[in-house]
């Protein structure tokens, strides 16, 4: 077994910068360019001592991946790094608009702390919506995504219609690559609304927590069957968008009730023709924080569920090599691992996407660093409010101390434990999660449950990558021409 003393004897004149992690007796090494190698203990010792001959098979692989100092191709690695981190200079691309806080369902884990259907004071007005749009189009980013959130967005249908129409008009001049998406429980959908949304190429995401027995327990609706309406309109939208690139995605939130049903949840998604599933770990925000004892779980309980679900998904793919049914969080990590590309996922960015990647606009025009920051406002905490559409500019919002603080707090190079982690090239932190769970935007990672979950997922992926057949499945996930589920959005309701 390699000891700390062995690591201290690394030949720094021959060995390039690297991180390492021991996985089941083998040594995973990574570097800041996102390259990785899986070494035996003997090869790891030879590598760290500078004893590997450059012309040997191991030496060639180490050279090609930037692990031997003398042969590091700085220009090539710099290009790779710049490509992967291009988002740092692009400007805010994701703009979340909360058109209402009203909702007709009472989900046990509601993170946005929605209000009853009579609370019309939480509806966005047309005047506010116009100012929101003007602020959004100040962004220098050529790729703009507008995402409707709530509450249930369809409750305030007139403003949805207004924003879609006006954004399309404004973009005739702005000439952005504009995507408009809506997160909805679909219970208030009708043919007229759907026709309008389809005509304007609005994308859809709904919540589907699995079969009715799981979904109905998580997402309660006295006015009907929340599962039945979601499935009904899912099928209608799938049929009407059969020849379109953008169809409909769904999101499952894992609660304590879900833990016993991994296969049933996955089977539900496959039966509906979904391309993949996002097994979202429950966040302690909004109602979920208040009901955590009833619906929450430990990170170890989640990881047991995750590994069972992933084994099942992989088996499905192995039985049918033409099927690329994926788990979305894993796919985001694998895009970084296998392609060395940024998957446009705010959860795994370094630094995180708060402010520089996304902004959230509340129904009253208040602007927040991100949707999580906006959710905290519902918990009587305005720490992450960065302005208002009625005053200032987007530049003022971006220079706000809250944005700067979150960038610093999520920059892994500045975090004591993250800076030396083998998974630093692939992961990111959420300072607001840290703030809610630990009272500080900078976390003590040894006790951070989110970190534990991400580490467990990455451990699982790198262990499974040792199997050539499974690696081929994973490569199919990240190279498939299918559009990935937008995990940087569509994850809040």
What 3-state class would DSSP assign to 149? strand
pLDDT at 475 over 70: yes
What 3-state class would DSSP assign to 204? strand
Altogether, the residues listed in the chain come to a count of 493
What 3-state class would DSSP assign to 247? coil
Q: Choose the weakest-confidence range: 117-131, 240-254, 282-296.
A: 282-296
Side-chain half-sphere exposure of 9, counting CA atoms within 13 A: 12
Which band of pLDDT confidence, cut at 50, 70 and 90, is reported for residue 482?
low
* Phi, psi dihedrals of residue 430, rounded to the nearest 5°: -115, 105
Q: What's the rounded Cα separation, in Å, for the pair 330 and 460?
A: 10
Q: What's the rounded Cα separation, in Å, for the pair 259 and 299?
A: 12
Per-residue pLDDT, averaged over 107-128, amounts to 90
pLDDT value for 481: 66
**Hey, which residues does 102 pair with through a beta bridge?**
115
3-state helix, strand, coil in the chain (%, to 5): 45, 15, 40
Which has the closest alpha carbon to 418: 450, 443, 441? 443
pLDDT value for 341: 86
pLDDT value for 4: 67
Q: Regarding predicted confidence, which is higher, 460 or 88? A: 460
Per-residue pLDDT, averaged over 27-40, amounts to 95
Q: Please, what sign has the CA dihedral across residues 280, 149, 477, 59?
A: negative
Under 8 Å between Cβ of 479 and 343: no
Close Cβ partners of 377 (under 8 Å, ≥ 6 residues apart): 362, 366, 368, 384, 385
pLDDT in tens, 432-455: 999 999 999 998 888 899 999 999
Close Cβ partners of 94 (under 8 Å, ≥ 6 residues apart): 145, 147, 346, 353, 357, 358, 359, 488, 489
pLDDT at 492 over 60: no
Q: What's the rounded Cα separation, in Å, for the pair 245 and 99?
A: 26
pLDDT at 485 over 50: no
Close Cβ partners of 298 (under 8 Å, ≥ 6 residues apart): 449
Q: Which two tokens stand for residue 196?
A: 């309008």
User: What's the fold here for domain 90-493?
Assistant: TIM Barrel (3.20.20)
Which residue has tokens 């999580």? 372
| DSSP annotation string for 338-400 | HH------GGG-SS--BTTTEEEE-TTSEEESSHHHHHHHTTT--TTEEEETTSS-HHHHHTS
Q: What's the rounded Cα separation, in Å, for the pair 211 and 209?
A: 7
pLDDT value for 269: 97
Which residue has tokens 């999101």? 251
pLDDT at 69 over 80: yes
pLDDT in tens, 174-202: 999 999 999 999 999 999 999 999 999 99
Q: What's the rounded Cα separation, in Å, for the pair 473 and 324?
A: 7
Find the radius of gyration of the CA atoms of the chain: 23
Under 8 Å between Cβ of 155 and 117: yes
Under 8 Å between Cβ of 489 and 280: no
pLDDT value for 322: 81
Which residue has tokens 């992967």? 84
Q: What's the rounded Cα separation, in Å, for the pair 206 and 231?
A: 9
Per-residue pLDDT, averaged over 156-180, amounts to 98
Q: Which helix (H) or strand (E) holds 57?
A: helix 57-64
The pTM score is 0.93
**Hey, which residues does 182 pair with through a beta bridge?**
148, 204
Q: Please, what sign has the CA dihedral across residues 415, 421, 425, 428?
A: negative
Under 8 Å between Cβ of 187 and 229: yes
pLDDT in tens, 227-265: 999 999 999 999 999 888 788 999 999 999 999 999 999
Please give the distance of CA 364 from its chain centroid, rounded to a whole number: 26
pLDDT at 363 over 90: yes
Close Cβ partners of 36 (under 8 Å, ≥ 6 residues apart): 28, 29, 30, 65, 337, 462
For the chain, where do the domains classified as CATH 3.20.20.70 start and end?
90-493
Please give the distance of CA 315 from its chain centroid, rounded to a whole number: 24
Close Cβ partners of 152 (under 8 Å, ≥ 6 residues apart): 100, 102, 103, 104, 105, 114, 184, 185, 187, 188, 493
């Amino acid at each position: 077994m390699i000891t700390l003393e062995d690591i201290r004897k690394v030949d720094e004149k021959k060995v390039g910068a690297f991180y390492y992690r021991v996985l089941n007796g083998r040594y995973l090494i990574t570097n800041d360019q996102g390259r990785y190698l899986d070494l035996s203990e003997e090869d790891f010792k030879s590598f760290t001592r500078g004893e590997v001959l450059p012309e040997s098979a191991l030496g060639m692989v180490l050279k090609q991946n930037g692990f031997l100092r003398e042969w590091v191709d700085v220009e090539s690695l710099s290009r790779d790094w710049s490509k992967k981190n291009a988002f740092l200079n692009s400007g805010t691309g994701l703009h979340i608009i909360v058109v209402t806080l009203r909702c007709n369902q009472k989900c046990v884990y509601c993170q946005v702390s929605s209000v009853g259907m009579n609370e019309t004071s939480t509806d966005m007005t047309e005047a506010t919506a116009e100012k929101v749009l003007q602020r959004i189009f100040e962004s220098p980013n050529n790729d703009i995504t507008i995402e409707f959130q709530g509450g249930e967005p369809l409750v305030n249908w007139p403003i949805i219609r207004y924003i879609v129409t006006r954004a399309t008009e404004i973009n005739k001049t702005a000439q952005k690559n504009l995507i408009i998406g809506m997160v909805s429980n679909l219970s208030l959908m009708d043919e007229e609304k759907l026709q309008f949304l389809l005509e304007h190429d609005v994308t859809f995401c709904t919540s589907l927590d699995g079969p009715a027995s799981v979904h109905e327990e998580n997402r309660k609706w006295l006015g009907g069957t929340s599962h039945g309406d979601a499935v009904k309109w899912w099928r209608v939208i799938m049929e009407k968008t059969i020849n379109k690139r953008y169809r409909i995605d769904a999101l499952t939130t894992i609660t304590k009730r879900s833990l016993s049903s991994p296969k049933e949840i996955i089977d539900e998604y496959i039966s509906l023709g979904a391309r993949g599933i996002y097994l979202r770990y429950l966040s302690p925000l909004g109602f979920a924080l208040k009901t955590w004892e009833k619906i929450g779980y430990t990170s170890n309980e989640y990881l047991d569920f995750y590994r069972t679900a992933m084994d099942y998904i992989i088996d499905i793919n192995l039985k049918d090599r033409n099927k690329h049914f994926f788990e979305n969080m894993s796919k985001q990590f694998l895009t970084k691992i296998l392609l060395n590309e940024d998957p446009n996922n705010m959860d795994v960015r370094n630094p995180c996407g708060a402010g520089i990647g996304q902004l959230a606009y509340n129904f009253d025009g208040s602007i927040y660093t991100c949707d999580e920051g906006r959710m905290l406002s519902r918990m009587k905490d305005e720490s992450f409010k960065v302005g208002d559409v009625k005053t200032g500019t987007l530049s003022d919002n971006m220079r706000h101390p809250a944005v700067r603080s979150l960038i610093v707090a999520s920059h892994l190079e500045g975090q004591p434990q993250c800076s030396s982690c083998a998974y630093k090239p692939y992961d990111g932190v959420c300072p607001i999660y840290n703030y809610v769970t630990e009272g500080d935007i900078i976390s003590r990672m040894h006790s951070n449950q989110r970190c534990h979950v991400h580490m467990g997922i990455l451990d699982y992926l790198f262990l499974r990558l040792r199997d050539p057949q499974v690696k081929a499945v994973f490569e199919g996930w990240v190279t498939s021409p299918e559009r990935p589920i937008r995990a940087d959005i569509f994850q809040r309701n």
